[in-house]
Homo-oligomer: A and B are copies of this chain.
Amino acid sequence: MMTDNQSVREEVKQIFTEYLKKHGHRKTPERYAILDTIYSLDGHFDIETLYTLMEEKENFRVSRATLYNTIILLLNANLVIKHQFGTSSQYEKCYNRETHHHLICTQCGKVTEFVNEELQHVIEHTRVGRFNMSHYSLYMYGICSRCERANKRKMTNKLQNSKK
């Protein structure tokens, strides 16, 4: 059963509290505000986006340094995962989220998620030596349908122009 968004936000708060306690970190308002903002988002975000969003939408001012610090805690607490497409690091919430894979268009840079349980099953059941996997990322690169169409159109135009 997929829990609704409000319950998830409560649950991750509790998990984070336990994590902070266990590691002797303080429960600051900044940390909870950041966690909550992240769990109000869908999909990927980078630090700059989060920074702007917190100030504008949540009306909560935090420094970039605190964002970077807190993200590290959230990564360690397994509440957020990190991706590195494009130029800046991207993050996404990962608690109670369906496992998904990524399509990345090498032409326009667009990132699309998709779910494929067979794929997921095979990857999760792959054992390599004594390596103890906690999570994984699968990125598939290629040309998205939109760019494909645009390219075909360009081709056709070129051909027509050369005929004139």
A residues near B, CB below 8 A? 84-85, 103, 106, 112, 114, 116, 118-119, 122-123, 126, 128-145, 148
Residue in B closest to A143 when the chains form the complex, CB atoms:
B132
Work out how many copies of this chain go into the complex.
2
Q: Which of B103, B128, B136 contacts A116 (CB 8 A)?
A: B128
Nearest CB on B from A69, distance (A): 17
* CB–CB A133/B142 < 8 A: yes
Known: A84-B85, A128-B103. A138 touches B123 (CB 8 A): yes
| Chain B residues whose C-beta falls within 8 Å of the C-beta of A126 in the assembled complex | 116, 119, 140
* CB–CB B129/A119 < 8 A: no
Residue in B closest to A114 when the chains form the complex, CB atoms:
B128
Q: Which of B112, B119, B136, B148 contacts A122 (CB 8 A)?
A: B119
Nearest CB on B from A78, distance (A): 10
In the complex, A106 Cα to B148 Cα: how many Å? Answer: 37
* CB–CB B137/A139 < 8 A: yes
8 tightest A-B contacts by CB? A84-B84, A130-B145, A133-B142, A136-B140, A132-B142, A134-B142, A132-B143, A137-B139
Can you list 26 A-B contacts (CB < 8 A)?
A103-B128, A103-B131, A103-B133, A114-B129, A118-B122, A119-B122, A119-B123, A119-B126, A126-B140, A128-B140, A129-B145, A131-B142, A131-B145, A132-B142, A132-B144, A133-B140, A133-B141, A134-B141, A134-B142, A134-B143, A135-B142, A136-B139, A136-B141, A137-B137, A137-B138, A137-B141
